[in-house]
Structure 1
Amino acid sequence: MSNADRVVLALGGAGTVGSGIVKALLDKGFKVAVISRDNSRLDKLRGFVSPSTRDNLTTLVGNVGSEEGAEVVKQALLKSVGKVTDIVSSLGFSWWQGGPPHSQTLKELHWVIETLLFSTFVSWKVFFPLVRDDPNCTYTFITGGAGEKLLMPGTGFLTVGAASTLAFCQVLREEYPEVPCKLNQVKINTGVAPPERVAPGYLNHLDLGEAVATLVERKNTTHTVFPVNCPADLKTVILEGALHPPPSLPFIWVQLSGMAHP
C-alpha cells in the first residue's frame, strides 16, 4: 500500500506537537484527517502545512473527549475520507503551572485528568476498531516524560495526568499482545517547540514530525516503546531507520503530553 492510499487520523493534530506530525505526513504523501473542537486552530493548521499538500488534509470540528461526540465525529470522518489506515495520538496540552496541590481545586484535577487520560481513552475506544484487525494499519501514541518526574514546582497535577496516560498505555500493551495492528509508543522526555522557540535540548516539532511520520511509513515495528531524550535520538530514527528501545520495552509509544513549550 502506497502512502497515497493511506489515511492517517492525527488526534491532537492541531497542537504544537501534532502540527509538526501532520505536516511531515502530508509531505510524505499521506492523506491526513485532523479533529479539533476549535475551528480557529484548524484554520491555523491549514495555513501551516505546505500549500501543495493542503488538498490532502481533511479537518473536522468535533469533541473526541466524550463518547457521544467521538462517535458523531467518527461517522463524519468516515463519510469524508472513506477509511482510516493509521492513527497517531498526541493529545495533551502545554505546561500547566497552576500552583502547588494544596492551592488547587478538585475541578482543576478533573480537568487535567479529562484532558490527558479521558480523551486518550475515549479516542482509543472509538477509533481503534477502525484499524485493529489489519496488520497493515498502525496506532501510534505520543506521550511525555512529565508522568515520571515533576517538571517544576507548581506543575504537579500535570505529572499526575501524564502518569495516568503512561499507565493506560502500559495496560493496552499488555491487554492486546497479539493484535494485528501495529501498536507503537514514542515517549518524549524533553521539551518540544516550533523552530522560533526551540531552547537548548528541546526538540524542533518539525524534526519530531519527520521522525514520527517515518515510523508510521515503515510500519515494521509493534508493541515497542521508543524513548526520545534529545534531538540526536530523532536523527537516529530518520537517518538510521529505526529507534532502538531497550530490549525490556516491547511496545512503541509516543507520549508528548505536557512536554510542549508554554
Structure 2
Amino acid sequence: MSNSDRVVLVLGGAGTVGSGIVKALLDKGFKVAVISRDNSRLERLRAFVSPSTKDNLVTIMGNVGLEDEVEQVKQQLLKQVGKVTDVVSSLGFSWWQGGPPHTQTLKDLHWVIETLLFSTFVAWKAFSPLVRDDSNCTYTFITGGAGEKLLMPGTGFLTVGAASSLAFCQVLREEYPELPCKMNQVNIDTGVGTPDRMAPGYLNHLDLGEAVATLVERRNASHTVFTVRCPADLKTVILEKNL
C-alpha cells in the first residue's frame, strides 16, 4: 500500500506538535485528516502546510474527547475520507503551571486529567476499531516526559496528567500484545517549539514531524516506546532503528 493510498487521522493535528506531523505526512504523499473544536486553528493549519499538498488535507470541526460527540465526528470523517489506515494521537497540552497542589481545586485536577487522559481514551476507543485488526495499519501515541518527573515547582498536576497517559499506553501494550495493528508510542522528554520559538535542547516541530511520519510510513515496529530526549534522538532512536 503506497502512501497515496493511506489516510492518516492526526488527533491534535492543529497543535504545535501535531502540525509538524501533519505537514511531514502530507509532504510524504499521505492523505491527512485533522479534527478540531477550533476552526481558527484549522485555518492556521491549512495556511501552514505546503501549498501543493492542501488538497490532501481534510479538516473537520468536532470534539473527539466527548463520548456523546465522537461517534458523530467519526461518521462525518468516514463520509469524507472513506477509510482510515493510520492514527497519530497527539492530544492534550504541553504545559501547565497552575501552582503547587495545595493551591489547586478538584476542578483543576479534573480538567488536567480530562484533557490529557480522558480525551486520549475516548478517541482511542472510537478510532482504534478502524485500524486495529490490520497489520498494514498503525496507531501512534505521542506522549510527554513530564509524566516521569516534576518539570519545575508548580507543574505537579501536569505530571499527574502526563503520567496517567503513560500508564494508559502501557496498559494498551500489555492488554493487547498480539494486536495486528502497529501500535507504538513516541515519548518526548524535552520541549518542542516552532522555528521562531526554540530554546536550547528543544525539538523543532518540523524535525519531530519528519521522524514521526517516517515511523508511520515504514511500519517496522510495534508495541515499542521511542523516547526522545534531544534532537539527535530523532535520528538514532526513531529513524535508524526503523531502517
Normalising by the smaller structure, the TM-score range is over 0.9
Corresponding residue for 1:110? 110
TM-score, normalised with respect to structure 1: 0.91
Corresponding residue for 2:129? 129
After superposition, the C-alpha distances for 1:127-158 in whole angstroms (9 at most, x for unaligned) are 00000110000000000100010111111000
Corresponding residue for 2:59? 59
Corresponding residue for 1:167? 167
- Determine the C-alpha separation between the residues in 2 that align with 1:91 and 1:239: 23
Give the length in aligned residue pairs. Answer: 243
After superposition, the C-alpha distances for 1:202-223 in whole angstroms (9 at most, x for unaligned) are 1000000000000000011101
Q: Percent identity over the alignment?
A: 84
Whichever residue aligns with residue 61 of structure 1, its letter is M
- Determine the C-alpha separation between the residues in 2 that align with 1:242 and 1:158: 31
After superposition, the C-alpha distances for 1:70-101 in whole angstroms (9 at most, x for unaligned) are 10100000000000000000111131111111
Contact 2:226/2:238 (CA < 8 Å) preserved in 1?
no
Higher relative CO (Cα under 8 Å, sequence separation at least 6) belongs to 1
- Determine the C-alpha separation between the residues in 1 that align with 2:84 and 2:185: 19
- Is the partner of 1:54 in helix, strand or coil? helix
Corresponding residue for 2:138? 138
Gapped runs of 5+ residues in structure 2?
A: none
- Determine the C-alpha separation between the residues in 2 that align with 1:235 and 1:226: 11
- Determine the C-alpha separation between the residues in 2 that align with 1:38 and 1:70: 15
Whichever residue aligns with residue 144 of structure 1, its letter is G
Q: How does 1:1-262 map to 2 (within 5 A)?
A: 1-236=1-236, 240=240, 242=242
In angstroms, what is the RMSD of aligned CA positions? 1.1
- Determine the C-alpha separation between the residues in 2 that align with 1:192 and 1:96: 14
CA gap 1:238/1:183 in 2 versus in 1, 3 angstroms: closer
- Determine the C-alpha separation between the residues in 1 that align with 2:189 and 2:128: 26
Whichever residue aligns with residue 3 of structure 1, its letter is N
- Is the partner of 2:242 in helix, strand or coil? coil
- Determine the C-alpha separation between the residues in 1 that align with 2:33 and 2:145: 27
Whichever residue aligns with residue 85 of structure 1, its letter is T
- Determine the C-alpha separation between the residues in 2 that align with 1:241 and 1:2: 21
- Determine the C-alpha separation between the residues in 1 that align with 2:91 and 2:11: 6
Whichever residue aligns with residue 9 of structure 1, its letter is L
The runs of 4+ residues in structure 1 deviating greater than 2 Å are: 235-243
